[in-house]
Structure 1
Amino acid sequence: MSDSPHAQTGHRLEALLTAPGDEALEELLLWVLEGPVTGPAGTSPRTARLTLLAEGLRTHPRRMELEDRLRAAWTRGSLVRLLAETGLPVHSTLFKESFERLVDQLAPRLAPEDDLFVLVTRLPLTPADAEWVAALDDGALAPWTPLLAVPPETLLDAARLLGLRAAALGLGRDLLELFPGKAEATSPFFTLAGVIDRLAAAPQAVEAYVAWEAALATCRLHLAEAHERLDRRGVTTDLIFRLELLEAQLARLALLLTVATGRADGRRLAAELIGSAARQRGVRSLARNSMKRLAQKVTEHTAETGEHYQVASARAWDETSWSAAGGGAITALTALGKYAIGALPLAPLVAGLGYSLNYTISFWIMQLAHFTLASKQPAMTGAALAAALHREAGSAEEIEVVARITRSQVAATLGNVLSTIPVTCGLVLLAAWLSGEAPLSPETAEHTLHGMHPFLSLTIPYAILTGGMLWLASLAAGWSANWSAYRGLAPAIARHSRLRRLLGAEGAARVADFTARNLSGFAGYTVLGLLLGMVPVVCKFAGLPVEVRHVTLHAASLALAAGSLYGTPLFSWDAVAWGMVGIVLIGVCNIAVSFGLALRTAVRARDLDPAERRRLWRELRSAFRADPRRFLWRPAEGAAEGVA
């Protein structure tokens, strides 16, 4: 027969007197937490357990000893650590804090004995536990207030410790550099610790508390201005992490000093500590805000590039088509170089590096010549569409942005394909005229031609994978633009003393301008070249037959294979026709995947309303059904000039 609840409570209280260390205290807390927060008819079994425990303590024959034991456990020296550190990152860098939390989840750590901070971190706390504490009524708390009230001097010690840490963090060099020309002593964090010390010396002095409130407001304004300056120049995850840590430290300081000076009871502080302890275990939540800000900044830089890829007029359509035609001509040479490297007796890794170099050099030439590569645009334009949604520009403008984007994809793809096929055929004829042989051997050409069938090969999955590579390349371009802006790279190059001595002031300025205009493009194209060249090689090492399928490269390869086989028994118009179908499907997959991933990334980074996205999708379908040509073809003469 099981013991009654009163008997169970008595046993747990007896254990508290006899058990060494914090084991019995931890068991007691776990027993309370095991009770459900809500029960039938609006009751709270957990609150009932707390009340039962208080009653058991009141009627216990060794009540005074138990109260002394609880009071001693609660007011030990580690209480300062509990108040100042619970829920707040220990390290000032995101990587180090994330790594330590991850290791703590995988391997135990030998912690100091009788440490309240360690005890709380071992409890299975959740945000619901914090809500339960915040909602407790005075009747349930009254028996515990004399025992568990934190001494004001302990609260003030925790505030002084946290104030010193916040001041040191706020005076970090990277944060000070956001305010060039200002002396260190002008930072509000320079005097923060002194203000807290004066309040700790006279907690009831109105003037000291008013000075603290003014210092707190000034520090928060300083951090808000730091965020604004970061938004203008570019961000880093570590600096964002430190700014958010400072904001959390200031919030904890405000709470500690409010309770210490008697302006609030400890219930809100207890709920905050429990909620913070529940959040402290997670690695994902730790990185979420910092990574979101970085993603937002990267997509903003990507969107700035994407603005250049929106066809708003007939003239813009023609310009995009001619630019894409140049890109298609370069791609014909790229495809020829790819097969030339494949014919060499190279080790797989060396061949992969050769493919990557071939792609990257070709893409760099396109960047310098202002040519366009089809399906690289969508990843940029996805971020531009998200920017329009974020501005709440209105349905008409949002639909027009989508129409401009899709027109640019059609113009670029047609320009690439309609250029690369005849240029590649010309290269085949030139090779045959110069050497008397086709550029590809019959075996290679036949394998290439039949491997392009969209349904009898893995062409479509490969095209989807390539769309993901295009998206990653756009992220690299956006990240490099953010990095350059954060470092002030272009102005730094223009002022670089050795470069100015070597090239003169005007030469250094030209290098800076070239860097500002081309760095992100070079970075994106370099990453794309490495992915296209190395991913198949790396997958081959793992036994995975992965290939890339880019619409323009596919068209050039198709023309190269068909041209090499033309006039031989191995040539097949059916295979060529299916290859042309494959071009269309590859283009759709490349564009849809890269655009979709970029849009999703930008939407998540900007916290856009899902309802607004659904509304836009409905209106887009209606607009497309009403006028498909608006989305797929050259605008009429007289339409708005330029690109958005």
Structure 2
Amino acid sequence: MKFRKPKPKMTLQEFFKLNFDENNLWEYKADEVDMLAELVDIFRPANPDVVLTVDISELLVILEENEQYCKGLSVYLKEILKHKKFSKILTDAGILSDTDFFYEVRHRLFAKLIPEQPEKNTLEYVLNQVFFMKSDPLWINKIPAEQVDVLFTQLNFYSVYVSSRAKSPLAELLFSIEVLMHRIAGRALESEVTKMVPEYENLESPFLAIQKEFALISDKLLEERKNYILPKDLGYKQLMILHRQCVEYVEHAFRNSNKFGISLRLNQNLLRIRQQLQRLRTLLPLLVLNEPEDARRNTIDLAYYLIEYNCDKNNVRKLINESTQLISYEITQHTANTGESYITKDRKEYFRMFRTAAGGGIIVAVLCILKVFLSKVETSAFGHALLYSLNYSMGFIAIYVLGFTLATKQPAMTAPALVRALEAGRREKIAPELEKYKTFAEFFARVFRSQFIAFVGNVVVAFPVALLGIWLIDITFSYNLALTKWFSLINNLSPVHSPAIFHAAIAGIFLFLSGIIAGSVANRDKHQHMYYRIQEHPWLKMTLGRIRTQRLANIYEKKWAGIVSNFWFGVFMGSTASVGIFLGLDLDIRHITFASGNLALGLYGANYNVSNEMIFWGIFGIGIIGLVNFLVSFGLSVMLAFRSRNIPFSELGDINAAIWKHFKRKPASFFFPSLRNSSRALLPESTAKSSRALSGKS
């Protein structure tokens, strides 16, 4: 099938000669927008990003020199725009239509593929047909303002203040503002929103007050038939004060999310109110005229807004960025608080980290042995997924509850703590530039050595414990558990002879997701007041007593998010291979601590009759698996934390330079604490938390 080459753009001279010469072809197209679309396309640049200015002087010259062309185009445009409704663009376009985030994403994606086409009596239909490229607002704003003013005058356009009758532009504008205010007040007075700002509980709602004030202004405009208000009008000044109070109300609700938590639905609700308030902040000044010439400028500005809003109404990236930023901030805030307990500051905490990691290594070694047992159970792929998931989940929960440490869980938790420290450093005005990151580099060294000793504790202990366990089973039951499994146990560790790196990356993703789950559960429970609800549960207080119920609530607050996170991490780890079998893909997981235990089991299963090459690649593979586990989970967590705090990724270069400078000066600090105790934790937000006991955090 052959595709036709795109038709070359016609010139302005050709356009006017074809449509506006003595034949007046435009009269036959007076109610069609195709001709206007052709005219706009003549000026539309191929790459609007690189164009500095879009010059329409040629059009102005043609209209000035040919009265017939100018009159014909003016009549055509007025006919196209006459009595076109545009209130829906101002009230709806680019504003969340629903509090359901996923519905909104689906709606916008579908509208991108097959755009909605409104009724032909609306301005939205005209704009959809003419300005259908998302980059159109960009190049339109690059047309010099003085040229637009001249075009406005040449075509004899009227300002929006000419009439306030029904269907007039001013009536549409007033109606749009009124609709926005009613919608804002309705959402803002919902109990889900008001409980986020208890400080306003006994105060008059600014959302109701602004409605009343605008009703007075609207009536005044209609009664005096001036169709505009002056900047010094007391009613307008009061309106803007109330608008600012509404904005402060919403921002206060967002800030209180740190105290009360926030749900995705409430986040969308507040975002919708914020967007509508921003829209009001744009539209209200259009009612004000200071000088007569402002009428033309305001009318042109309104046209710009209509084009911009209509082109931006299906922006999916903007929706996702706005909708997820606060949620991701709350999640990373929780993980940052948890991550502080993983960061050692002195030798005492450093060796305590080793002991807790050693405890984690003991449990992982047991899990390795149990998994080999479970692999011998004859069942379906689903059966193995269920058994492996239970094995992993129970083991990870045991590590967490007993206060032990799984080293690979640290990066997803410590990354947000690092970024929070960076955020504090960025607020300080320090020169030269690299000195701004000096404190952060020192903090990074603490994080790195904490991660290092945790890895050492896990790996060094998991190997001998797994070896001891399989030996005890053999001498007790005369059964070499890994006799038929030894080759795969060792070979699967090799980054050369197996996809171990890919499988380690999958484990890194799961480690990141488990951190997200922990933060999400903590944020949800905080928002739903779960701890308080348990503490004051009447049946529990009657059954267990007030003190025991209080203890239960405290345990829930401290442990539940971690238990859920570890449970799902176990499910992810245990079911990946079975999912791979179902999909026909080579999917599996490789985890550094389990790799150490599996190497021990493999060596015993082979009666130590293993080539030096296999041993080398097995040991080397353990290191590579740990590195990939760390890089993937840490990298993803850093990206999320950067985004949630609006820190540009361009700063990574300076950050890396500061870390490298600190490493060259004190390389040992990245692996071992100094002999003297370090100063207090560097995190400004919670300096005391890093000295808490490491138990109970994994």
Q: Normalised by the size of structure 2, how large is the TM-score?
A: 0.84
1:101 and 1:27 map into 2 onto residues whose CA distance is 28
SS of residue paired to 2:590: coil
- The answer to whether 1:103 aligns with 2:110 is yes
Structure 1 contact 453–579 (Cα < 8 Å) conserved? yes
Query: Which 4+ stretches in 1 moved above 6 angstroms?
Result: 37-43
Q: What number of residue pairs does the alignment pair up? A: 636
Is the alpha carbon distance of 1:109 and 1:641 closer, same or farther for their aligned partners in structure 2, counting shifts above 3 Å? closer
- The equivalent of 1:295 in structure 2 is 328
Task: Read off the aligned partner of 2:18 and give its amino acid letter.
Answer: Q
User: Take 1:439 and 1:12, find their aligned partners in 2: how far apart are those partners?
Assistant: 97
Q: Give 1:72 shift.
A: 5.3
Partners of 2:456 and 2:371 lie apart in 1 by 22
Shift in alpha-carbon separation, 1:48–1:236, aligned structure 2, 3 A = farther
Pair 1:255 & 2:282 matched: yes
Q: Is the 8 A contact 1:331 1:420 kept in 2?
A: yes
- Aligned match of 1:6: 16
Paired residues for 1:430-579 under 5 Å? 430-440=472-482, 442-566=483-607, 570-572=609-611, 574-579=613-618
Q: Residue in 2 aligned with 1:149? A: 160
Report the more deviating stretch, 7-16 or 37-46: 37-46
> Hey, what's the Cα distance between the residues in 2 that align with 1:215 and 1:367?
50
8 Å Cα contact 1:70/1:147 also seen in 2: no
Instruction: State the AA in 1 paired with 2:453.
Output: A
Superposed, 1:91-240 pairs within 5 Å as 91-107=98-114, 109=116, 111-122=118-129, 123-125=131-133, 126=135, 127-132=137-142, 135-137=145-147, 138-144=149-155, 146-147=157-158, 149=160, 151-180=169-198, 183=201, 186-203=204-221, 204=229, 206-240=233-267
* Cα offsets for 1:235-272 (capped at 9, x unmatched): 33333333232223223223333223435522222222
Aligned to 2:340: 307
User: Aligned match of 1:586 in 596, 614, 625?
Assistant: 625
How has the CA–CA distance of structure 1 residues 40 and 339 changed in structure 2, closer, same or farther, with 3 Å as cutoff? closer
In the TM superposition, residue 533 of structure 1 has moved relative to its aligned partner by 1.0
2:657 is aligned to 618
Whether the 8 Å CA contact 2:642–2:649 is kept in 1: the answer is no
Equivalent residue for 1:246, pick from 258, 270, 273: 273
Match in the other structure for 2:368: 335
**Contact residue 591 and residue 626 of structure 2 kept, 8 A:** yes
* Alpha carbons of structure 1 residues 210 and 451: separation in structure 2 relative to 1, 3 Å: closer
* Aligned counterpart for 2:91 among listed residues 71, 79, 84: 84
Deviation at 1:70, TM superposition (A): 4.2
Shift of the 314–149 alpha-carbon distance from structure 1 to 2, 3 Å rule, reads: same
Q: Verify the 8 A CA contact 1:466 1:590 in the aligned structure 2.
A: yes
Q: Is the 8 A contact 1:452 1:579 kept in 2?
A: yes
Task: Work out which of the residue numbers 390, 396, 404 in structure 1 matches 2:446.
Answer: 404
Structure 1's unaligned 5+ residue stretches are none
**Residues 556-580 of structure 1: per-residue CA shift (max 9 Å, x gap):** 111122123326xx44455334322
Residue number in structure 2 paired with 1:382: 415
AA aligned opposite 1:629: A
CA distance in 1, matches of 2:515, 2:171: 55
3-state DSSP of counterpart to 1:547: coil
1:146 aligned counterpart, secondary structure: coil
Task: Decide which structure has greater helix share.
Answer: 1
State the 1:636 CA deviation: 2.2
Question: 1:606: how far off?
Answer: 1.8
In 2, distance between residues paired with 1:213 and 1:312? Answer: 51
Query: Which stretch of the first structure deviates more once superposed, 402-411 or 98-107?
Result: 98-107
CA deviation profile, 1:584-635 (whole Å, cap 9, x unmatched): 2222221122212211221222222445321221121122233322101344
Tell me which moved more, 137-146 or 488-497: 137-146
> In 2, Cα distance between the equivalents of 1:438 and 1:115?
80
1:545 alignment partner AA: D
Greater shift in the superposed pair: 372-381 or 390-399: 390-399
**CA shift for structure 1 position 42:** 8.4
1:149 and 1:507, CA in 2 relative to 1: closer, same or farther beyond 3 A? Answer: same
Q: Given that residues 345 and 677 in structure 2 are in contact (C-alpha distance below 8 angstroms), is that contact kept between their aligned partners in structure 1?
A: no
**2:86 counterpart letter in structure 1:** L
Could you tell me how far apart the structure 2 residues matched to 1:262 and 1:349 are? 71
Q: 1:145 to 1:198 in 2, by over 3 A?
A: farther
Q: Structure 2 counterpart of 1:332, which letter? A: A
Cα deviation for residue 387 of structure 1 reads 0.8
Deviations 1:439-463 (A, max 9, x none): 22x2212332233233222222222
Is residue 356 from structure 1 mapped to residue 389 from structure 2 by the alignment?
Answer: yes
CA contact (8 A) 1:130 1:274 kept: no
Separation in 1, partners of 2:391, 2:420? 34
Question: What amino acid is the match of 1:211?
Answer: Q
For residues 22 and 122 of structure 2, the distance between their equivalents in structure 1, rounded to whole angstroms, comes to 21
Conserved? CA contact 1:375–1:591, under 8 Å = yes
Return the offset for 1:162.
1.9
User: What is the rounded CA distance, in whole Å, between the counterparts of 1:107 and 1:36 in structure 2?
Assistant: 22
Q: What is the percent sequence identity of the aligned residues?
A: 24
Higher mean alpha-carbon deviation, 520-529 vs 66-75, is at 66-75
* Shift in Å, 1:432: 1.4
- Structure 2 counterpart of 1:516, which letter? E
Cα 1:190–1:325 change in 2 (3 A) is same
When structure 1 is superposed on structure 2, of 42-51 and 117-126 the one drifting more is: 42-51
**Hey, what's the Cα distance between the residues in 1 that align with 2:138 and 2:18?**
25
Between 168-177 and 399-408, report the one with greater CA deviation: 168-177
- Residue 35 (structure 2) aligns with: 27
CA contact (8 A) 2:44 2:139 kept: no
5+ residue gaps in structure 2? 1-9, 162-168, 222-228, 427-435, 682-689, 692-698
CA distance in 2, matches of 1:104, 1:194: 36
Is the Cα contact below 8 Å between 1:375 and 1:590 reproduced in 2?
yes
- TM value normalised by structure 1: 0.91
Q: Counterpart of 2:160 in structure 1: which amino acid?
A: A
Q: 1:582 to 1:84 in 2, by over 3 A?
A: closer
Which of 462, 474, 489 is the aligned partner of 1:420? 462
Shift of 1:517: 0.8
Secondary structure, aligned partner of 2:289: coil
Offset at residue 230 of structure 1 (A): 1.8
Q: Could you report, residue by residue, the CA deviation over 1:382-440 in whole angstroms, capped at 9, with x for unpaired residues?
A: 11111111111643321121111111111111111121112112211210122011222
Residues 156 and 257 of structure 1 are in contact (CA less than 8 Å); yes or no, is this contact kept in structure 2? no
Q: What SS is found at the alignment partner of 1:545?
A: coil
- Residues 409 and 169 from structure 1, CA distance in 2 versus in 1: closer, same or farther, beyond 3 angstroms? same
Distance 1:338 1:461 in 2: 21
Report the Cα offset of residue 641 of structure 1.
7.1
1:357–1:529 Cα contact (<8 Å) kept: yes
Kindly tell me: are residues 330 and 42 of structure 1, through their superposed partners in 2, closer, same or farther at Cα, counting changes over 3 Å?
Answer: closer
CA distance 1:546–1:117, shift in 2 (3 Å): same
